[in-house]
Amino acid sequence: MNDPSIPTWEDVARTHGRKIYNYAYRLTGNPHDAKDLVQEVLLRVRRGLDSYTPGSFDGWLWRITRNAFLDDVRRRNRRPTSPLPDDVDRMPNASSPAADDVLASIRLGDDIQKALLDLPDDFREAIVMCDIVGMSYDEIAQAIDAPIGTVRSRIHRGRKLLKERLG
Amino acid sequence: MSHRPVLLSAMLDGELSEAESAWVAAHLEGCGECRSELEDLAAARAAVRSLPLLDVPDGIVPADGVVTSLWPRRVAVAVVSVAAAAAVGIGALGVLGMASDAVTTIDVGEAEAILAATGSMGVVSDGSAAAEYLEDNVTARYRARQTMACRDETTFVDNTVDVTRLGNVTVMSDPLAHWTVLAGGSVSTGPSEGPIETVTVTGPAPRMGAYSVTGETRDEFRGRATDIVTLGRDGVDRANLWIDVETSAIVHRELLTAEGTVACVAELVEFEPIEDRIQASMPFDIRAVVTESVYSPVATDLPNTLAGLELVAAYPIDGGEVGVFGDGLFAFAVVRVDGAHPQAGLSETSPAVVWESAGESWAVVGQLPQDLLEWVIGDLPPAEQPSPFVDGWRILFG
């Protein structure tokens, strides 16, 4: 763990927490699930860092994130979910200015977010990784364990569907 | 002229090779249809990219060294795991002693009666802040024993449960019905009431992500509220799971063929408090029994995660160790033996992939889909070869 090329857990949390949160939020449209996912990923990262060997850290991290998300989907599917928060009072910290900004931005992006949520899961995942997280096709292929041709195809087909839905 | 629309998106992302870029540029000059599609794709791409990057809510990411975790660090490193894993809910018992390096084991015979409950269970031993925290999260104090009855009346290819003996440890796994049992010492069978070696299940092993939840209802099962979840694979098979609302334990499950024939039924029986029983084997006071996910970093050289699947149990064997990994859909064992050949302890009925070197040998035991197997092996040390799966590993059985 003294290897300087291996980040500490706290480094990972600060550096990647926001990306993981945005990834989860855009996939689920739900801030509570997104928050849960970030916590779960950070927990798994902390468990796994001891055994992590220097290599593609991002690839490793996003594989963990994706697995955590899929596990979460399995669990969440046992309960009814709402795709978007319909009651802003239930949002955490709804009274703070930062939270107001967040709410405003969520409302602005509502249509786009809804269109994203309408996409098939595979397409949504690829688009979120590309356009929200900013991953390269190569990184996405590694994270979802699929050939790069699949990544190209999913992003392309996802964008076509998005355009149809957004008009 | 042929169109290659999939290249248009990749072009927007700067993901084309030079040759592809040249081809697309030339094609666009003469193709209004593709120019129009490119505009649409660019609009969709810009729309998603216009979404604001949200800040993480407070309390998730630590500020200046504050660790945010379900488990205080000094607790998390003090663990023992004597465990059985029951998949679709891997069961693992962690006994947490507060002395940071203390490792306490309990008799496996005791463990097998306790551990069949799905979901991780842990026991906290004293009145520290950790224990107080965990007491707030007590959700289960049950003893559980699992019984299994499977009928061989499906059209699927036979798939017999794996029984693997590794020194004094027996690993029994059934990737279809989702359970793995580790037994050792004086215990020679798993928690099944019947002769476990003769249990036969049918059907192909499930694939990661292939199941989807197709239905859910809530009902009573033996007087307790349960969620009944149906997992299905189109035209292949489906499973109904009865999940105890309070404990998250899978108390009953059935696997059905595409035709609706019952292929396998397993159920959890005999709920009763276990606290007294656990206490009887512990040299300290138990303060709480929890079902929060407990990570048990036992003293082991085995990796803590493999391909995103977590180590749920580790067990020493002569000259090595064995760990059970799982994610709820898959369970498999990884064996490490110092300077020996792991196949010496493997049964020929068990699919196994081994890696050998002068210093130590590794084996992956269990039925995993090929892609997951490659992934797992890719994660495993030691990778003295550039590509361990291709060059260093070989399939021994199966």
Q: What is the mean pLDDT of residues B134-159?
A: 27
- Asked whether the whole model's pTM tops 0.80, one would answer no
Question: What is the three-class DSSP state of A134?
Answer: coil
Q: What is the mean pLDDT of residues B39-44?
A: 91
Residue B130, pLDDT > 60, answer no
Residue B259, pLDDT > 90, answer no
- pLDDT-based confidence at B3, cuts 50/70/90? confident
pLDDT at A77: 55
For chain A, the C-alpha Rg in angstroms (whole number) is 17
pLDDT at B57: 75
- pLDDT-based confidence at A125, cuts 50/70/90? very high
pLDDT at B23: 87
Q: Are the beta carbons of B52 and A108 closer than 8 angstroms?
A: yes
- pLDDT-based confidence at B261, cuts 50/70/90? low
Within chain A, what is the greatest distance between any pair of CA atoms? Answer: 53
Q: Parallel, antiparallel, or unpaired for β B250-257 and B121-124?
A: unpaired
Q: What's the mean pLDDT when you consider all of chain B? A: 51
Residue A112, pLDDT > 50, answer yes
Contact residues on chain B for A14, CB-CB shorter than 8 A: 61-62
Tell me if chain B has a CB within 8 Å of the CB of A76.
no
Is A74 close to B213, i.e. CB distance below 8 A? yes
Output B146 or A17, whichever has higher pLDDT: A17
- pLDDT-based confidence at B366, cuts 50/70/90? low
Residues 105 to 144 of A: which have CB under 8 A from any B CB?
A: 105-106, 108-109, 112-113, 115-116, 127-128, 130-132, 136-137
Contact residues on chain B for A126, CB-CB shorter than 8 A: none
Q: How far is the C-alpha of B198 from the C-alpha of B158, rounded, in Å?
A: 13
Is B48 close to A63, i.e. CB distance below 8 A? no
Contact residues on chain B for A109, CB-CB shorter than 8 A: 50-52
Residue A69, pLDDT > 80, answer yes
- pLDDT-based confidence at A161, cuts 50/70/90? very high
Q: Say which amino acid occupies B377.
A: I
Which segments of chain A are extended strands (E)? none
Q: Give residue-wise pLDDT tens across range B232-250.
A: 555 555 666 676 665 555 5
The distance of B186 to chain A (nearest Cα, Å) reads: 32
Q: Which residues partner with B364 through β-bridges?
A: B334, B353
A57-61, B219-223, B259-263: which range is least confident on average? B259-263
Which of A3-12, A112-121, B141-150, B361-370 has the highest mean predicted lDDT (pLDDT)? Answer: A112-121
- pLDDT-based confidence at B187, cuts 50/70/90? very low
Contact pairs from chain A to chain B, CB under 8 Å: 156
| 3-state SS string for chain B | CCCCCHHHHHHHCCCCCHHHHHHHHHHHHHCHHHHHHHHHHHHHHHHHHCCCCCCCCCCCCCCCCCCCCCCCHHHHCCCEECCCEECCCCCCEEEECCCCCCCCCCCHHHHHHHHCCCCCEEEECCCCHHHHHHHCCCCCCCEEEEEEEECCCCCCCEEECEEEEECCEEEEEECCCCEEEEECCCCCCCCCCCCHHHCEEECCCCCCCCCEEEEEEEEEECCEEEEEEEEEECCCEEEEEEEECCCCCEEEEEEEECCCCEEEEEEEEEEECCHHHHHHCCCCCCCEEECCCCCCCCCCCCCCEECCEEEEEEEEECCEEEEEEECCCCEEEEEEEECCCHHHHCCCCCCEEEEECCCEEEEEECCCCHHHHHHHHHHCCCCCCCCHHHHHEEEEEC
Q: Which residues contact A114 (CB under 8 A, 6 or more apart)?
A: A29, A83, A84
Q: What is the mean pLDDT of residues B33-39?
A: 90
Is A112 close to B48, i.e. CB distance below 8 A? yes
B69 closest CB neighbour out of A17, A43, A48:
A43
